[in-house]
């Protein structure tokens, strides 16, 4: 991923349309490199998670650089996300994510539910806390850590001491693990798949809670 990381580093230093137009070739090379990685991950991850469709165009999983906010001084993101999922339920489902960023890349499993989905999952957590904690234990063994930085107060309707209190406070659910993108590609893919394999129970927990399994 050296071409992609180099391009993103230079884009951060020259975040303007003129520079990007002058380096469109480097951008296209980075897009190709990211697309190839996404294809290889999907192709092999679909053998572990049978809900995934290996025939989906991987470009649907790759984020754009453009920031859709006209008042922003900087017009481009300086990172790229690959977010792999079955593309069901209108996007209200967990995704396998690779965050490609020269300042710190990581892999994650992320579920950002809508308001209704969050209510459903909170109720599911209370009834299935053992299943969630078992899934977390397995993911932790792969080096994942639960991102709880956004935890707030208990939502209205819940009392202190409720089962799964620490999870009920979360507005979304994410496991993160650092990622070294400078490894040789076959080793990188092997590491990613090994880690994601141990996070599948976490993914399945939310799918089950949403009635997708």
Segments forming the whole domain that contains residue 117: 2-210
Residue 5 has what pLDDT?
97
Tell me the angle at which helices 115-127 and 185-210 cross, rounded to the nearest 10 degrees: 80
For the chain, give the percent of residues with pLDDT over 70.
Answer: 98
Strands (E), 52-119: 80-84, 95-100, 106-111
Residue with the bigger pLDDT between 69 and 140: it is 140
Instruction: Report the phi/psi class of residue 152: left, alpha or beta, with left for phi > 0 and alpha for psi in -120 to 50.
Output: beta
Closest alpha carbon to 64 in 39, 35, 91: 35
User: Which of 89-93, 185-189, 200-204 has the lowest average pLDDT?
Assistant: 89-93
Rounded to whole angstroms, how far apart are CA atoms 189 and 183? 9
Instruction: Identify the sign of the CA torsion 66, 34, 39, 41.
Output: negative
Instruction: Give the residue-averaged pLDDT of 23-36.
Output: 96
Residue 68 has what pLDDT?
63
Residue 70 has pLDDT above 70, yes or no: no
H or E segment to which residue 146 belongs: strand 145-146
How high is the mean pLDDT of the chain? 93
How many domains does the structure of the chain reveal? 1
- Measured in whole angstroms, the distance separating CA 16 from the mean position of its chain's CA atoms is 27
We report the CATH number of the domain holding residue 80 as 3.30.930
């Amino acid at each position: 991923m050296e071409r992609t990381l180099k391009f993103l580093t230079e884009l951060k230093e020259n975040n303007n349309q003129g520079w990007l137009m002058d380096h469109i070739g480097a951008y296209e090379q980075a897009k190709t490199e990211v697309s190839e990685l996404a294809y290889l991950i999907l192709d092999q991850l679909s053998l572990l998670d049978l809900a995934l469709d290996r025939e989906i165009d991987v470009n649907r999983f790759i984020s754009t650089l453009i920031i859709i906010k006209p008042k922003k001084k900087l017009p481009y993101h300086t990172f790229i996300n690959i977010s792999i999922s079955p593309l069901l339920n209108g996007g209200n489902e967990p995704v396998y994510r690779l965050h490609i960023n020269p300042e710190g890349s990581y892999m994650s499993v992320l579920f950002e539910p809508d308001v209704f989905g969050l209510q459903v999952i909170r109720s599911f957590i209370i009834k299935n806390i053992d299943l969630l904690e078992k899934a977390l234990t397995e993911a932790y063994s792969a080096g994942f850590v639960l991102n709880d930085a956004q935890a707030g107060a208990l939502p209205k309707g819940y009392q202190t001491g409720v089962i799964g209190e620490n999870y009920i406070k979360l507005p979304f659910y994410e496991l993160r693990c650092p990622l070294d993108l400078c490894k040789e590609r076959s080793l990188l893919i092997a590491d990613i798949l090994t880690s994601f394999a141990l996070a599948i129970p976490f993914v399945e927990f939310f799918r089950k809670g949403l009635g997708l399994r």
